[in-house]
């Protein structure tokens, strides 16, 4: 089917903004031109792509399917353009990584430093999101590479390229508020204490909820946040027992202790992943070489 690329471009801007007027501003064309382009595309595809209303538009099921394919294509074109225009990067192109703020702070910084030292002219962009959301960014082609905690329910096994780290999760508390330092406690007994943990949008929360379910227990956290650092701060002032990856512990956490759990908590991994359906930029390949390499997951 011979359909002008510009029609798909207009569709992308309307679909991502859900507004004909906003799309016209971003494309520097009139709103009537946007509307006409969408009508032409719908006629060629022989099905409606949007549900119109006075205030905003919504994607039809057909429109959602089309956006799922158009969005990665648009992002791929942008990446190609930026790579060609960036003459100072020795042809490597921009390095765009997706990772949670915790992984960035406690794991990625030294490797970003190494990469920047080796390739000082290559632009580095980091998009912070939860590990679950990072997979969506990768699928849409919005980032070249993600570093995520694993298991990750959104990450298909085919996406995993490199296991870079293994770690354990721990419960931490302040001994001034919780007299558990010399004890070993079962998960069932832990339920009576206030649990501080990441919110349900995180792989860490997903992991702990699944762990409790495996032991036929219900997890009812006292506080759910989006920051491991804040969980540590709240544990320090005695608001509860925080659940965090062990790599988040540092010298500032010395007044806290790790609660001994009777059940053995399985290790988790950190993996670097790329989208196998998209070309891998040379900058991404070079960054992957800098990361440590552990045996692949079985």
Are residues 249 and 170 in contact, defined by beta-carbon separation less than 8 angstroms? yes
CATH of domain 166-267: 3.40.190.10
Enter the pTM of the model.
Answer: 0.72
Question: Which pLDDT belongs to residue 106?
Answer: 93
Q: What is the DSSP letter of 108?
A: I
**Is there a shared CATH topology between the 5-70 domain and the 95-163+269-290 domain?**
no
DSSP string, 40-102: HHHHHHTS--EEE-SS-EEE-HHHHHHHHHHHHHHHHHHHHHHHHH-GGGTT---EEEEE-HH
Q: d(Cα 138, Cα 127) in Å, to the nearest integer?
A: 11
Does domain 95-163+269-290 fall under CATH 1.10.260.30? My reply is: no
Are residues 77 and 109 in contact, defined by beta-carbon separation less than 8 angstroms? no
CA 179 to chain CA mean position, Å: 37
CA 63, 66, 71: angle at the middle one, nearest 5?
Answer: 115
CATH of domain 5-70: 1.10.10.10
Structure tokens at 147: 């570093």
Domain coordinates in residue numbering, the chain: 5-70, 95-163+269-290, 166-267
Q: Which of 111, 146, 112, 143 is nearest to 132 (CA)?
A: 146
One digit per residue, the tens of pLDDT, for the chain of length 298 reads 678 888 888 998 889 888 888 888 888 888 888 888 888 988 888 889 998 877 678 999 998 889 988 888 887 777 676 666 554 545 567 889 999 999 999 999 999 999 999 999 888 999 999 999 999 999 888 898 999 999 999 988 778 779 999 999 999 999 999 999 889 999 999 999 999 999 988 999 999 999 999 999 999 999 999 999 999 999 999 999 999 999 998 765 678 999 999 999 999 999 999 988 777 888 899 999 999 988 764 4
Query: How far is the CA of 254 from the CAs of 79, 173, 233, in angstroms?
Result: 44, 11, 12
DSSP string, 185-252: E-HHHHTTSPEEEE-TTSHHHHHHHHHHHHTT-----SEEES-HHHHHHHHHTTS-EEEEEGGG--GG
């Amino acid at each position: 089917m011979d359909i002008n690329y510009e029609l798909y471009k207009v569709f992308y801007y309307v679909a991502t903004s859900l507004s004909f007027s906003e799309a016209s501003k971003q494309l520097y064309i009139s709103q009537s031109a946007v509307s006409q382009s969408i009508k032409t595309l719908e006629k060629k595809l022989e099905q409606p792509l949007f549900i119109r209303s006075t205030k905003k538009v919504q994607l039809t099921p057909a429109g959602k399917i089309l956006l799922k394919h158009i969005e990665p294509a648009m992002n791929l074109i942008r990446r190609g353009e930026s790579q060609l225009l960036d003459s100072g990067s020795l042809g490597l192109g921009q390095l765009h990584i997706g990772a949670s703020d915790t992984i960035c702070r406690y794991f990625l910084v030294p490797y970003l430093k190494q990469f920047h030292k080796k390739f000082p002219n290559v632009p580095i962009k980091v998009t912070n999101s939860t590990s679950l959301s990072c997979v969506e960014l990768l699928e849409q082609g919005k980032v070249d590479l993600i570093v995520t905690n694993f298991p990750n329910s959104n990450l298909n096994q085919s996406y995993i390229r490199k296991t870079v780290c293994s770690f354990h999760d721990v419960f931490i508390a302040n001994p001034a508020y919780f007299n558990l330092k010399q004890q070993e406690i079962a998960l069932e007994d832990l339920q009576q204490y206030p649990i501080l943990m990441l919110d349900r949008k995180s792989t860490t929360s997903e992991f702990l909820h699944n762990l409790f379910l495996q032991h036929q227990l219900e997890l009812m956290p006292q506080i759910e946040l989006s920051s491991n650092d804040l969980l540590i701060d709240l544990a320090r002032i005695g608001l509860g027992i925080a659940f965090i990856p062990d790599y988040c512990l540092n010298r500032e956490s010395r007044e806290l202790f790790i609660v001994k759990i009777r059940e053995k908590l399985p290790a988790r991994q950190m993996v670097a992943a790329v989208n196998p359906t998209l070309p891998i930029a040379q900058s991404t390949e070079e960054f992957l070489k800098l990361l440590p390499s552990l045996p692949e997951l079985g």
